[in-house]
A and B are shown apart, each in its own frame.
Chain A
Amino acid sequence: MLRTLIHHPVIRRAVASLATLLGVAVFVFVLLRAIPGDQITAALGTEAAALTPQQRSELEAYYGIDQPLVLQFFSWLGNLLTGNLGYSTRSQESVLDLTLAALPITFELAVLAILLALLIGVPLGMLSASRPDSPRDAAGQLVGLAGLSIPAFLLATTLLSVLASSFGFNPNGKAFVPLFEDPALNLQQMLLPSLVLGFGIAAPIMRTTRTAVLEVRSHDFVRTARAKGVGARRLQVRHVLGNALVPIVTMVGLQFGYLLGGAVVVEQVFSVPGIGRQVLLGIQQKDYALVQSTVLVIAAAFVLVNLLTDLAYRLIDPRVRAA
């Protein structure tokens, strides 16, 4: 019983994810210890040079950096597992509190961006596939190419400045409000950032939809369905799109990494206080406690999403479940 459980693919996949996360923690730890200078110079700047040797060693003991590296790692890891992500040296706030405030904002941004990307990408891909190599296919492909080639930061800055100067539309100029405080203003503030991010992932979704629809349409069961009199719309949606869903879901999962990276850029341009902006702020202010834990949180979120994509894949595609 236990043995079959251990060898269950879902369990094995979850264990592998945990191992990866441990590797990620080691990587982040080593990376930030490689930085020239330490927390003391980061916190005090040039004044650190004026410290007496005794003050310095006291500060080293305070930050725990007089301990061996391995001990430092395990004490950091132990703290992380008990929910202590450290304290931001700049704002003196706990990184956990900062992260808990920022994470839902980025989550909202990601969900809206995926929705917009599906709304743009799937119909466009189906349109392209409906008549391959026709002008409408070329137009669809061109939009896809634009999505892949226009950098998020360029689209974001252009939209922001053009809309603000020509139409006076700049909800992001006001202080950011959370979703539950003022939903109407919040959605206005989220509109442009999620549109920019969504446009970027609409392109691969469009391409995947096109390929998958073309592939599914060539199967015999589609001809059979048409022969037994299934209507055109029902055929497209239920028979063709239904079977093309697996690659589309996979592509959405794969794009999550782009989404989290793109969030850094987009949140910065539109002043959205999400997790990406938190990392960037930490980097700019040399607030390494903040960077270290936030990067780890983002990587953990990414690993979790990949795991969930795998599981979703099993639910949608019975062939994978049987394997």
Chain B
Amino acid sequence: MTDLARTAPLAVPTTRRAGRLRAVLRSPSGVIGLVLVVLLAVAGLLSFTGLLPHDPVAQDPPNRLLSPSGDHLFGTDQFGRDVFSRVAAGVGNSVLISVVAVALATVVGTVGGLVSGFFRGFADTAIGGLTNVLFAFPPLLLALALASVFDRNWFTIAVAIAVVYAPIFVRVTRGPVLSLREIEYVKAATSTGQGRIAILLRHVLPNIGSIVIVQVTLSLSWAVLTEASLSFLGLGAPPPAPSLGSMIFEARTLVEIAPWTMIAPGVTVVLLVVGLNLLGDGLRDALDPRNRGGRAR
């Protein structure tokens, strides 16, 4: 009996998961998204291994504002720093901050949604109230306010972004948990005397997995945009840490004489967000055929 209860819900998602991945790969836009994200993430990760062609923060004044060449693929900036290496390191920082932010938001938000929807009562009221308060702030403004309060480094920026996006996870998981609570097999599990935490982990969590996965991809693209906007406004990780947003900010006075300083980080941030959006849309269509419409940001 217990064996059956343990294997049954696990067996179904594994076979379904393989099918879902295939479904994502069937849509051309999903494939483009996946390729873009993987390529950029690999380039970004290179920056943490020291394999970049140049040191992204090393200044070289005699070679300032060089146009793109074999040695400097994307040219150099006003301090003679290699733009290609800076863009790669910027993508690395951006991906690092966004992934940590969304991971935090996912865990905190999903646990909040599970507790809120499953246990109801005071926990539901408290979590709901806090969620409403956080939703009352325009997202970028909340991130700005939090980033201005913290002692800024890459981790506190990630925390600021996580606070903004955690409420979304509470909201998208609570509803499904509420209805799962009333479903027969969950009631059956309750009647066999399983603990409530065990039921949550074994029967409820696996069933909201696809909702969470889709939300993770979409949130990643917003997190990248938020991080870039913060650093453009001078509230990202402090210099000299390379960041796509601050590179674009610095390039705005150089566009006429050195357009590559703007084009390289600009095109890269757009490609990264496009990739995440396409991947997110592909996943959503594969996992939830009902929802193909617009969405809130």
Give Cα A226 to B1, complex, Å: 59
| A303 contacts the other chain (CB 8 A) | yes
A149 contacts B234, C-beta separation under 8 Å: no
Given A157-B248, A284-B234: A257 in contact with B256 (beta carbons within 8 A): no
B 244-297 contacts with A by CB, 8 A: 245, 248-249, 251-252, 255-256, 262, 266, 269-270, 273-274, 277-278, 292-297
Interface residues on B, range: 35 or more
Give Cα A139 to B233, complex, Å: 32
Give Cα A151 to B271, complex, Å: 11
Among B145, B248, B273, B294, which residue has its beta carbon within 8 angstroms of that of A208?
A: B294
CB distance from A178 to the nearest CB of B (A): 24
Interface centre among A24, A261, A302, by most chain B C-beta atoms within 10 angstroms, is A261
| A34 contacts the other chain (CB 8 A) | yes
CB distance from B85 to the nearest CB of A (A): 21
Given A154-B270, A165-B256, A264-B144: A211 in contact with B292 (beta carbons within 8 A): yes
B233 contacts A280, C-beta separation under 8 Å: yes
Residues from chain B with Cβ under 8 Å of A299 in the complex: 136-138, 141
Among A148, A208, A265, which residue has its beta carbon within 8 angstroms of that of B140?
A: A265
A 252-305 contacts with B by CB, 8 A: 254-262, 264-265, 268, 276, 279-280, 283-284, 291, 295, 298-299, 302-303
Residues from chain B with Cβ under 8 Å of A63 in the complex: none
Render A243-256 as a binary contact track against B, CB cut-off 8 A, 1 for contact: 00001000100111
CB distance from A41 to the nearest CB of B (A): 15
A283 to B, closest residue via Cβ: B148
B133 contacts A20, C-beta separation under 8 Å: yes
B293 contacts A212, C-beta separation under 8 Å: yes
CB distance from B87 to the nearest CB of A (A): 14
Interface residues on A, range: 35 or more
Residues from chain B with Cβ under 8 Å of A28 in the complex: 145
| A19 contacts the other chain (CB 8 A) | yes
B145 contacts A258, C-beta separation under 8 Å: no
Among A24, A153, A204, A279, which residue has its beta carbon within 8 angstroms of that of B229?
A: A153
Residues from chain B with Cβ under 8 Å of A210 in the complex: 293-294
Among B129, B148, B228, B255, which residue has its beta carbon within 8 angstroms of that of A165?
A: B255
Residues from chain B with Cβ under 8 Å of A20 in the complex: 129, 132-133, 136
B141 contacts A260, C-beta separation under 8 Å: yes
B293 contacts A207, C-beta separation under 8 Å: yes
B 124-172 contacts with A by CB, 8 A: 129-130, 132-134, 136-141, 144-146, 148-149, 151
Given A161-B252, A298-B141: A32 in contact with B149 (beta carbons within 8 A): yes
A261 contacts B138, C-beta separation under 8 Å: yes
A31 contacts B145, C-beta separation under 8 Å: yes
CB distance from B165 to the nearest CB of A (A): 13
Residues from chain A with Cβ under 8 Å of B252 in the complex: 157, 160-161
A207 to B, closest residue via Cβ: B294
| A59 contacts the other chain (CB 8 A) | no
A 1-44 contacts with B by CB, 8 A: 16, 19-21, 23-24, 26-28, 31-32, 34-36
CB distance from A179 to the nearest CB of B (A): 23
* Additional A-B contacts beyond A20-B129, A207-B295 (18; CB < 8 A): A16-B132, A20-B132, A23-B136, A151-B228, A151-B232, A151-B273, A154-B248, A154-B270, A157-B249, A157-B251, A161-B255, A208-B294, A210-B293, A256-B138, A261-B139, A264-B140, A265-B232, A268-B233
Give 20 A-B contacts (CB < 8 Å), ordered by A residue.
A20-B129, A145-B277, A151-B228, A151-B270, A153-B229, A153-B232, A153-B245, A158-B262, A160-B252, A165-B256, A207-B293, A208-B293, A211-B293, A254-B296, A257-B138, A258-B138, A261-B138, A280-B144, A298-B137, A302-B136
